[in-house]
Amino acid sequence: MDHSQAIITLVVLGVVAFLFVTELIPLAVTAMGASVALGFLGVLSPSEVFSGLSNSTVVLFAGMFVVGAAMLDSGLAQTIGNSVVRKVGTKELPLMIAMMLLTILMSSFASNTGTVACLMPVLIGICVAAKIPCSPLLMGLAVAANTGGTITMVGTPPNIIAVGAMEAANVEPFGFFEFAIIGIPLSLMSLIYMVTIGRKIVPHNYADVGAVSSVSSGGTPRARMICLVILIFVILGLCVGIPGLTQEMVAVIGALACVLFGCISEKNAYQGIDWVTIFLFAGMLPLANALDKTGAGAMIADQVVGLMGDNPSPYVFMIVLFCLSCGLTQFMSNTAAAALLCPIGISIAQKMGCSPYPVIMSIAIAASCAFTTPVATPPNTLVMGPGKFKFVDYIKVGVPLVVLSLVICVAIIPMAWPFFPE
């Protein structure tokens, strides 16, 4: 172990942490800059600096971003939203349940920000027409978008980052739908919480008539039908598997088909890819590799384990990292929080001799529990104006949600991914 290289890596990590928290420069620039700096300083070889960009998982993410964007661009998402509304009517409770379930489902595969942006005008229009308060429904929409994203690997950036950190540490990554083991219970909990307690806590503000934008479904009926068929093909390919096709190939075939059959234009397909997440992922992989290669991660692990006493409990360790990840994500990018903590979490788990799986899963899920501030995640910000929310409204609704999320994670994660597997 070269201690000088380990120190250099820790200094770079410290600079990255500072820039992630302050966002003085864009997140993707920070991540890629860290890889380049480690190459320039001799910690990484030239081929290792950009190894993240050639990772096959990056291709899977890019393909799924295009398929998700096509759902929104073709009008499929909005058509589904409108049909749900026609079936459930305009009473607050059934409408909230239906829209949250729909948002959870859509956020699993499409951008949670895009999902909220698509469904919000539909929801506000119904509230104005039916003369019911819009704020409980809008808060439910934001909460559902945040928890729904935890169900699949591509549902939310922290899940993507967790998989990348595991690959960098040569740990078999989570499967595409493996996140659903905790994501589905979390989503159902958030639904039950919002329809029982949450909707009573939030203010009952009415939408301004001027807030209803005349958003019509884009695309054509043909484009929407083709997009639905492609979506089914991709889900089957990722869930069940198609002989001769890897998951990356399924995602790319789906993306190409969306463009070829006119579900989304080539320009919008490029715009639909979350390039910040792609480059953040690609930039943090080499940094995670450097933490492992130089022993810098082990040095952090030694310090943390030392602070936890002679016989540290993995449960306590998991709760500490959950709270740290969740606390950071309320004020900084959830992607950055996961990117910062996942490699460190793996190092500490290895030092303690326990499985890294429960640790990484708790970090990723906690990074998506962004409920307590309007700036924690874009869906929260989107609903703030139309719902006439104040900062304190997010705290009132979000704090109990975070506590319940922690309880569910502590109960389910160690059962699904034991600390000490047989």
- In this prediction, residue 139 carries a pLDDT of 95
Q: Per DSSP, which regions of 289-351 are E strands? A: none
85 contact partners, CB below 8 Å, separation of at least 6: 95, 98, 99, 122, 126
The per-residue pLDDT of the chain, averaged, comes to 85
pLDDT at 215: 46
207 to each of 95, 125, 385, how far by Cα in Å? 16, 9, 10
Q: How confident is the model at residue 208 (pLDDT cuts 50, 70, 90)?
A: confident
Higher pLDDT, 113 or 181: 181
Q: For the residues 245-253, what does the mean pLDDT come to?
A: 88
Range with top average pLDDT, 66-70, 71-75, 183-187: 183-187
User: Using CA atoms, how far apart are residues 410 and 361, in angstroms rounded to an integer?
Assistant: 11
Q: How far is CA 352 from CA 291, 306, 322, in A?
A: 17, 10, 17
Helix (H, G, I), strand (E, B) or coil at 16: helix
373-391 mean pLDDT: 82
pTM for the model stands at 0.74
| 75 in Cβ contact with 224 (< 8 Å) | yes
Note the residue count of the chain. 422
**Which DSSP symbol is given to 151?**
G
Is pLDDT at 213 greater than 50 in this prediction?
no
Percent of the chain with pLDDT over 90: 36
Q: How confident is the model at residue 331 (pLDDT cuts 50, 70, 90)?
A: low
Please spell the DSSP secondary structure of 209-245, one letter per residue: GGG-------S-HHHHHHHHHHHHHHHHHHHT-BTTB
- Amino acid identity of residue 376, one-letter, is A
pLDDT at 168: 85
Number of H helices, E strands in the chain: 21, 0
pLDDT tens figures, 92-103 = 899 999 989 989
pLDDT at 1 over 60: no
